[in-house]
Amino acid sequence: MSGVWLRPPRSPGRSGPPLHRERIVAAAVELLDQDGVGGLTMRRLAERLDAGSTTLYWHVTNKDDVLDLALDQIFGEVQLPEQTPDGNWQSEVEALVLGWLAAMLRHPWSAALLGRPLLGPNVLTRTEFLQSALRRAGLVEPDLTAGTHALANYVIGTAVTLSTWQRLDDPEFRQAAQRHLTTQRDRYPTLVASGHLDDRDWADTFRRGLKYLMAGLAARM
Amino acid sequence: MSGVWLRPPRSPGRSGPPLHRERIVAAAVELLDQDGVGGLTMRRLAERLDAGSTTLYWHVTNKDDVLDLALDQIFGEVQLPEQTPDGNWQSEVEALVLGWLAAMLRHPWSAALLGRPLLGPNVLTRTEFLQSALRRAGLVEPDLTAGTHALANYVIGTAVTLSTWQRLDDPEFRQAAQRHLTTQRDRYPTLVASGHLDDRDWADTFRRGLKYLMAGLAARM
DNA sequence: CCAGCTCTAGAACGTTGTTCTAGACTCTAG
DNA sequence: CTAGAGTCTAGAACAACGTTCTAGAGCTGG
């Protein structure tokens, strides 16, 4: 069940096949960017690679493999901030976490794939960075683990929420959702008053939440 | 595109059909609980209701409708805490948020469905409660919106992460994942040292993160 | 009795992920 | 130079899926 990372990769032939994993993953990401999760089928993926659809199964055991690999691939886009030994841990964490969120929003399909174990090298490297930044800042167990999970899960949750609305960029739908809410002002007075579905500055909102979290963490150091 | 909540429901017949939406949704939740998202097909759902598979399409326009309805259904299980007018807002928020997470973990498939707009009455009612609790505690914009989103997204992210591992309860897989990590101790020293994939008390970890977040929010009141 | 609904469901279509199978190509061993 | 064991490609085919089309029950009000 579901683990590209736990299986050894197939050893390549003498001169290397024209269709390697990397090409497959790159094409998969392109396809996902274009048409979302529903747009990625093994046949369309093969077509884009000028290959037979069943050929893919030599390099990859599953469609799940492709999805796992594509997901970890985009986490590789997240730049690791410079480690400042003296330094401000909060700016390190903020930089990483903002980059993380930005990468997921650049590939909105990624949020829908988070329901699979994140064991790829890129994800693990970034989580390692996050936790080590907290440790260097002086956090100890059990706050260290709790802090890491809190930050990571906050990013994940935000990515899920934001990419949902981003993927539905149909303005007609947004308006209908707005109407749906405002016509029930008596049920949801606070939500309506605060414009819960409005298109506000999500980056600022996210950063604020991050500040709350880091403030609470700082108190434990 | 994707909106049961924005379409008016079909008006029922004279004496009410034996196959209403509520029965369909209930059966869908049962099926999802048993076999996960992959186990829910329109044919299996109809079979469980002793109906023709195509009959479902009279009561529901889409499979997406079924998923949207099932998802909102389980949010109805989340109990709204007593509102204490004088009261400790933190205990209110904690009770709601813990109940929210627990409901999603009781139905681990729900996390995989979060990539759709949450516009159902049950979700909106709970979000309204959350935000009104923060408002009553004295939070004002823009912290009010940011706080609501932070809490909601933290729950969502945690639910995604935890239900992923819960769904993969195969101990063999967990062990393989452990080995995968520990054999790369040089790459991920901090993660390995803190037992990142260990089966720890997730409820405590979650509660700790919640405390950080609420502490940061309290400072803004 | 009929007309007009609410509701049911069989047949069928196009797509999907995946397996089975046969064959091509390439390098090494004898 | 030939035989053969990988390495890699891909056509045919299968079961299962979501969904549409269509025909027709069953009931109710006129």
- Over residues A158-184, the mean pLDDT reads 89
pLDDT at B16 over 70: no
Q: Please provide the average confidence, as pLDDT, over all residues in chain A.
A: 92
Chain B from 181 to 210: CB within 8 A of any A CB: 181, 187-191, 194-196, 200, 204-206, 208-209
- Over residues A94-121, the mean pLDDT reads 96
The segment with the largest mean pLDDT, out of A80-89, A175-184, B36-45, B194-203, is B36-45
Residue from the list B3, B205, B211 with its beta carbon closest to the beta carbon of A173? B3
State percent of chain B over pLDDT 70: 95
Domain B4-75: give its CATH code.
1.10.10.60
DSSP string for residues in chain A: ---TTTSPPPPP-SS--SS-HHHHHHHHHHHHHHHTGGG--HHHHHHHTTS-GGGHHHH-S-HHHHHHHHHHHHHTTSPPPPP-TTS-HHHHHHHHHHHHHHHHHHSGGGGGGTTS---SHHHHHHHHHHHHHHHHTT--TTHHHHHHHHHHHHHHHHHHHHHHHHH---HHHHHHHHHHHHTTTTTSHHHHHTTTTS---HHHHHHHHHHHHHHHHHTT-
Per-domain boundaries in chain A: 21-74, 77-218
The set of residues, in sequence order, having a beta carbon less than 8 Å from that of B27 and lying 6+ positions away, is: B45, B48, B49
Q: What's the CATH superfamily of A21-74?
A: Homeodomain-like (1.10.10.60)
Fold of A77-218: Tetracycline Repressor; domain 2 (1.10.357)
Chain B residues close to A145, C-beta within 8 Å? 194-196, 200, 205
CA distance B39 to B22: 19
**Nearest-CA residue of chain B relative to A197?**
B119
Strand D proximal to B18 Cβ, under 7 A: no
Strand D proximal to A43 Cβ, under 7 A: no
pLDDT at A210 over 70: yes
Nearest nucleotide, CA A46 to C1': D10
pLDDT at A172 over 90: no
Give the closest residue to D10 (Cα–C1′): A52
pLDDT of amino acid B12 = 65
Strand D proximal to A195 Cβ, under 7 A: no
- Over residues A184-213, the mean pLDDT reads 94
Domain B89-218 has CATH 1.10.357.10: yes
pLDDT of amino acid A13 = 55
Find the range with the poorest average confidence among A84-93, A121-130, B69-78: A84-93
- Over residues B22-41, the mean pLDDT reads 96
For B93-152, what is each residue's pLDDT tens digit?
999 999 999 999 999 999 999 999 999 999 999 999 999 999 999 999 999 999 999 999
Q: What single-letter amino acid sits at B29?
A: V
Chain B from 96 to 125: CB within 8 A of any A CB: 111-112, 114-119, 121, 124-125
